[in-house]
Structures are given as C-alpha cells and as structure tokens.
A and B are shown apart, each in its own frame.
Chain A
C-alpha cells in the first residue's frame, strides 16, 4: 500500500474538541529497535506528522506531533515491523474531558 501526501488533507487544527492541540499528547511513537526506515508511514501520512532526516542516526522522526489527527492510527497499519505505537485511547479521552472542564472553568 503506497500513498502520496496531498496538500488538500494537510490540516492541523489548533484545538481539538475545544482543547489546545498542544495539550493532547496524541501522536505515534517510533520504536527505533524495530523501525527499518521503509518510510511507508511517512509516505502515507497526509498530515505531515513525520519528517525524514538524511544523514542522522534516526532517519525518521515525529517532527510535527501537532499535525497528527487525534485518534487516527492509520499509519500504524502501514508499518510492517510494527514499530509505531499510540497512547491509550481511553486515557487520552479522559484527559481531554478533564481539560475541557478546565477550559470551561478557567
């Protein structure tokens, strides 16, 4: 499965469900023990969460976690060696609920 990034889908919301996106720790984590740098995830992600680093030890990084769409995990499916993991969804949702309350209070 190969997909090219297209600008049309490139969107990073400043907030998600009323919470500043930066406060929600949702993005993939790369397990560098497993990653074989096939770059399929980067090829796929239309939102530009990943970035390639030529000549560095870690040739792929999650450079723009804020571009990652909260609750989207599709890139993990493109990963052959299963090197991508995401935060726990239920915990993330609980956190968002708490932050929403804070936003409303404050």
Chain B
C-alpha cells in the first residue's frame, strides 16, 4: 500500500453541477488504476481516517470550478498539494463548457479515460529541488517617523512604486504589500486572492485587500503564473498587519521573466530610501511643512 508517488486523489465532489460530477468520475477512474481516493465529505468530519494514505502518497487535487473547494479543504488541513487540476480548465481546452445539470454529457464522458491518463502523468506543481521554500529568516532595517516605525527587509525582496513586494527565490516568488501599505491602510479585514493558474503581467492585480479605511489591489511587481495563494491569509487577513513581509504573503508565482522585470524594480536599499522620502513628503503635503 504504502508506496511513494502513489496518487492520492482529493476530488471536489460537487453534486450540483456537471464539473463536480466530472471531478468525482475522474477520481473513480483513477482509483480503478490504483490511486487512493479521499472522500471530501468524510475527510471533513474524520480527517484521521485518511492519514495513512496521505502520508504515503502524492496528493492530486481535482477542483470542479474556480471556487476551488477541494484545494481549500486541502489547505485548511495543511496538506501539501503535489498536483492539481481544474475541470473547468480541462473543458476549456476542448472548447467545452461545464453544464448546469449534474448529469455528465455523453461527449464529455468519452473524454474522461484520456484525462485520467493525463492526470496520472501530471507534473508536480511545487519545485522539489532548489530549496524554494521561503523559510529563511528575514531581517529588517527600520526607520521611525513620529510614533510610526517602518520596516523594510534587508535583502531578497524587490519592490515597485505601488509599495508591493516580490520575495524571489530561484524561479519562484512570493508577493505581498509593504509595511507602509499596512500602516496607512490600517486594519486589514479582507483578502481576496486571485485564481491559482492566473497569468500575471507586471503590474497586474494579484488579488486585493480591504481595510477599515480603504481598499486596494496588490499590484504585482513581477510577471508569472500564480501557483498558490496564502490560504491562511483568507482566514486571517490581519497577518498583513502583524507580519507584512513573511506570514502576510499573498500569492506565490512561478516567474516568467524576472531578469527583465527586475530592471524596473527597487531592491531593498532602494525601497528603504524611497519610502523614507515618501513618508516625509506625504507629511509635508498633509500639514504644509510644519
């Protein structure tokens, strides 16, 4: 049973739409080929029941639609998602749409065996080598203005002038907003993540946040594909206030052209000076240079 690389499938199991029914059907096809299937309903009430399977295999999550219930479930339980597919996207490739009826259409049923094979061969989403796991300790430089203390990391981060950062490790980056955004927006109470799989050009919106005072977009400093969003942040957006640069990360992307993106970005030292000026200037503007 406990062979490594064995697939463990967590389907969305949505009962009310065709996409959900397809994800369930695909999971069953894969189970015939030897994969373990996790029932998302049972898993929710008795997660221990699947502990053995999850420890030994590689987790494939099949979401029906963009709501991503299966992914969310996995994230909530801290599961490492190795592979991922979304039925709506698979359908889109075939120029098909998900139907409203939960009964799978005939032309779609015919596609499923081929899809099952494809999913078996699906590549892992997280890079396994290269240590791109964003675990290194970050140290900060600080400057004070009035009672406010502003923090900027010492290294490893790149900023745009929209006060958003990219923490770059190898081919990947995590994105978020700076301490300045956190302090001027005040208490953040919502984080709306972008879709996993979304292609970002530089300066595209990578999700948005809303505070008690205002709302703003996270404007991506880099181009790439969204590979993960911080599920914890959806639950606890105040992490952006308490730890804007590490625990408050919003989005993880696979970089597509960092070498050229970087020419337009500030490094940590550059942003430190930029922010210092910005805070001062803003104050003068507000109070007329007292």
Contacts and interface: CB of A to CB of B under 8 A. Distances in A.
Interface string A21-47: 000000000000000000000001010
B258 to A, nearest CB: 16
Nearest to A12: B285
B154 interface: no
A3 B203 contact: no
Contacts of A96: 264
Contact of A74 (B215, B264, B281, B286): B215
B213 A3 contact: yes
A63 to B, nearest CB: 16
Interface in A60-97: 69-74, 77, 89-90, 93, 96-97
Contact of B281 (A3, A11, A89, A100): A11
B208 interface: yes
Contacts of B161: 13, 16-17, 70
Nearest to B208: A74
Contacts of B204: 89
B219 A71 contact: yes
B215 A93 contact: no
B264 A3 contact: no
A53 to B, nearest CB: 23
Contacts of A9: 184-185, 213-214
Contacts of B214: 3, 6, 9, 44, 46
Given A8-B184, A11-B285, A69-B162, A44 B201 contact: no
Nearest to B274: A13
A71 B184 contact: no
A10 interface: yes
Contacts of A46: 213-214
Interface string B186-209: 000000000000000111110010
Given A7-B286, A90-B201, A71 B162 contact: yes
Contacts of B162: 69-72
Given A8-B184, A13-B278, A17-B161, A44 B215 contact: yes
A10 B286 CA distance: 7
A74 B282 contact: no
A32 to B, nearest CB: 25
B216 A74 contact: yes
A101 B185 CA distance: 34
B72 to A, nearest CB: 24
What 4 A-B pairs are tightest by C-beta distance, nearest first?
A11-B282, A71-B203, A7-B286, A71-B219
Interface of A: 1, 3-4, 6-13, 16-17, 44, 46, 69-74, 77, 89-90, 93, 96-97, 100
Given A11-B281, A46-B214, A72-B217, 12 more contacts: A1-B215, A3-B214, A8-B286, A9-B185, A9-B213, A11-B282, A16-B161, A17-B264, A70-B161, A71-B203, A72-B219, A73-B217
7 contacts: A3-B215, A8-B184, A9-B185, A13-B278, A46-B213, A77-B215, A100-B264
